[in-house]
Chain A
Amino acid sequence: NAGVTQTPKFQVLKTGQSMTLQCAQDMNHNSMYWYRQDPGMGLRLIYYSASEGTTDKGEVPNGYNVSRLNKREFSLRLESAAPSQTSVYFCASSGTGGLYGYTFGSGTRLTVV
């Protein structure tokens, strides 16, 4: 009954440090997504993976990389963190095409100082 699990829940990084946000889903969904949420900006798509083995850029991909490790797992990497990447990050998954909507994780709150 886990749905979409994100780790960690909170993280503080220094400018220039790197880190990987982990996401796993247990719903056998084909598609997975990474969003960032900033006040007044809503949810902005960073990268997505329509199916295992494929990844594509979303609206705000700069400064990020992703890996679709297998059908269950989709990770987001910040190679050199910047203060502008301070945000709340959400992973989501869906069946193909997203007809029944996306299921979201509970988020990772990242602060870059």
Chain B
Amino acid sequence: GQQLNQSPQSMFIQEGEDVSMNCTSSSIFNTWLWYKQDPGEGPVLLIALYKAGELTSNGRLTAQFGITRKDSFLNISASIPSDVGIYFCAALNYGGSQGNLIFGKGTKLSVKP
């Protein structure tokens, strides 16, 4: 079946550093999404991408929909302690045959003050 390979699995960084994570697949998607899960909560949507090559920002977060439509990237600039959590990529082929959102296994981010 379709799979998303998300890396890195975990990151432990200093406050103020920039963070990069990515998600790749052997399949093509027309929608990429990034979620964040705070400890003890459900995932919350951060950014949605709908077009190959699209670059979208949400505050200090920037995500890109890869040109090949097989990958996506998330960058966090100048990390702060509240960025701690698990970040999930997700992908979908909207409008195609019934297919649900597929999730990567997550990147666990820890920030050292």
Interface flags for A69-100 (1: CB within 8 Å of B; 0: not) read: 00000000000000000000010101001111
Listed in ascending order, the chain A residues whose CB lies under 8 Å from chain B are 4, 33, 40-43, 45, 48, 50, 58-59, 90, 92, 94, 97-107
Q: How many residues of B contact A (CB 8 A)?
A: 24
Do A107 and B41 touch across chains, with their CB atoms under 8 A apart? yes
- CB B102 to nearest CB in A, in angstroms, measures 9
Chain A, residue nearest B96 (CB): A97
Task: Specify which chain A residues have a CB less than 8 angstroms from the CB of B88 in the assembled complex.
Answer: 42-43
Name the contact of B33 in the complex, choosing from A40, A50, A101 (C-beta under 8 A).
A101
Task: Specify which chain B residues have a CB less than 8 angstroms from the CB of A41 in the assembled complex.
Answer: 105
22 contacts between A and B (CB under 8 A): A4-B42, A33-B100, A40-B105, A42-B103, A42-B106, A43-B43, A58-B100, A90-B42, A90-B43, A97-B94, A98-B94, A98-B101, A99-B31, A99-B92, A100-B45, A102-B45, A103-B45, A104-B43, A104-B44, A106-B42, A107-B41, A107-B42
**Does chain A have a CB within 8 A of B113?**
no
- CB A101 to nearest CB in B, in angstroms, measures 5
Task: Specify which chain A residues have a CB less than 8 angstroms from the CB of B103 in the assembled complex.
Answer: 42-43
Do A100 and B42 touch across chains, with their CB atoms under 8 A apart? no
Chain A, residue nearest B33 (CB): A101
